[in-house]
Structure 1
Amino acid sequence: MTGRNLRHTLRSPDALISTLALPIMILVMFVYVFGGAMDVGGGAFVDYVVPGIILLCASFGAATTAVSVSVDITEGIVDRFRTMAISRSAFLTGHITESLLRNMAATAIVVGVALVIGFRPTADPLHWLAAAGVLALVVLALSWVSACFGLIASSPEAANGFTIFAMFIPYVSSAFVPPETMPAWLRGFAEHQPVTPVIETLRGLLVGTPIGNSAVLALAWWGGIAVVAYIAALILFQRRTRS
């Protein structure tokens, strides 16, 4: 199932290009258009914003899993799989594994572009590995959530709406501006939603800012989301494919 989904991605490079193009365009816009006006308390703005762009790339790419799952469900290919010696969970895990591999590769390309335009991380190999692990957990959790949306949606077009939601959440966090610059009513949400501890953890691992308890919160948030979404996706798949 993973190989099948990877082949679909390679045969439809437009999906991969769109996954890369949007974060890269946002990165360039923030650095060169808004960067001169941003004050993040010292240091280059590119170093501040890149962890947020990395997460934005991963979340947008993972959200597209909803569309691919919905396409398979609505086109009836799952009924054909059910006649084969394939476990029920293999269909979903194939989509999730492909999403994880695709998004980690896309993230590496975005990081490469960031290095070209001035991103200067201070991380050693161990910190890079830890950052990749945190990001992989987020992609895994979001991919399972996306699979749930793909199973609920009545059509691929409806499932595509989840990508808008996944793109919006990083903006209301510490990804692009410090939460203390936001209005009081919005600051509380920005500081206590699941994305902010991931951003602070990635920023700390890559550029050496204080992490505090952000790593623990990130693992707790996204580990819990992954487990709940995994169970929900299996239940939804069984109901959607029930004879």
Structure 2
Amino acid sequence: MSTTYVVRDSVTMLRRNLLHWERYPSLAIMLVAQPILFLLLFVYVFGGTLGAGLPGVPGGGDRTDYLGYITPGILIMAVASVALGTAISVAMDMSGGIIARFRTMDIAKVSVLTGHVLGAVIKTLLTTVITLAVAVLLGYRSDAGVGEWLAAFGVILLLAFALTWLTVAMGLAADSVETASNTPMFLVLLPFISSGFVPTDEMPWGLRHFAEHQPFTPMIDSLRALTSGASPGSDLWLAIAWCLLIALAGYLWARRQYTKVPAR
């Protein structure tokens, strides 16, 4: 099949995927609202206490300082939240038999999964922009220039691409929509055990070791450095490596699961 047909079919599947947000507004609202609720919770409930303990802030920080510290972690949570919704969407297609039906049609087979991936990346961009806008309304400010912000959004989109392939595979492998909604929950929980909300130096040894070597910590540290106008150093390359590894593993798993779907 020619590249033209692959692109055409992928765009069709992308359009179908985006229409799901119109038909299931409750899911869209939940995915967008979740990172915003966490942002409000940590800033206004814990921000005063946690901000006072931030390192490198003379005399102790306040809620505004803590807002600047956790915003990168909240943006990563927004990416994970949309990825979770992708697993649910794929599982709904599986349970409804539509993916099996697509396999019998004269369309590019890769376009079925590509539509989900591209749709999730677009939704991630929208969700992160809305979350960042709320953070700005709360008082978040950045010293980063245009180049640093472009690099930050590049990290976000690369992570979205990687997590989406992983959750597409989870949705294909799930035996029900309920299973698909629960399996990727660790992606939303892992940022809590990272440098997203408190410095890892403040954690007990075992927890600190895990937090410093799990994938989300270099991603969050890279975003924090880029959005503050600083150099991310080796964290950026480590974050990119993690994203590529997750994307490759997710793609191979998704392709294997997709070939198992019986045609109808």
- Tell me the TM-score range normalised by the shorter chain: over 0.9
Paired residues, what number? 243
Q: 2:185 aligns with which of 164, 169, 186?
A: 164
Q: How does the TM-score come out when normalised to structure 1?
A: 0.96
Aligned partner of 1:40 in structure 2 is 54
SS of equivalent to 1:15: helix
The 1:17/1:62 distance shift into structure 2, 3 A limit, reads same
Aligned partner of 1:94 in structure 2 is 115
What is the Cα-based RMSD across aligned positions, in Å? 1.3
SS of equivalent to 2:232: coil
Measured after TM superposition, the shift of residue 62 of structure 1 is 1.0
Note the 1:132-151 alignment, pairs <5 A: 132-151=153-172
Write the distance in 2 (CA, Å) between the matches of 1:228 and 1:18. Answer: 28
Aligned partner of 2:17 in structure 1 is 5
SS of equivalent to 2:183: helix
Q: Is the counterpart of residue 194 in structure 1 residue 210 in structure 2? A: no
Measured after TM superposition, the shift of residue 63 of structure 1 is 1.6
Measured after TM superposition, the shift of residue 61 of structure 1 is 1.1
The 1:186/1:82 distance shift into structure 2, 3 A limit, reads same
Q: 1:216 aligns with which of 237, 260, 263?
A: 237
Which segments of 5 or more consecutive residues in structure 2 lack a partner in the other structure? Answer: 1-12
Q: How does the TM-score come out when normalised to structure 2?
A: 0.89
Letter in 2 for 1:70: A
Deviation sequence 1:43-65 (CA, Å, 0-9, x none): 51110010000100111111211
Letter in 2 for 1:134: V
Q: Is the counterpart of residue 116 in structure 1 residue 137 in structure 2? A: yes
Aligned partner of 2:257 in structure 1 is 236
Measured after TM superposition, the shift of residue 84 of structure 1 is 2.1
Write the distance in 1 (CA, Å) between the matches of 2:240 and 2:19. Answer: 31
Larger radius of gyration: 2
Write the distance in 2 (CA, Å) between the matches of 1:73 and 1:151. Answer: 7
Aligned partner of 2:96 in structure 1 is 75
SS of equivalent to 1:83: coil
Measured after TM superposition, the shift of residue 211 of structure 1 is 2.0
Percent of aligned positions with the same letter in both sequences?
40
Write the distance in 2 (CA, Å) between the matches of 1:183 and 1:31. Answer: 24
| Residues 64, 163 of structure 1: 8 Å contact kept | no
Write the distance in 2 (CA, Å) between the matches of 1:24 and 1:115. Answer: 12
Letter in 1 for 2:54: V
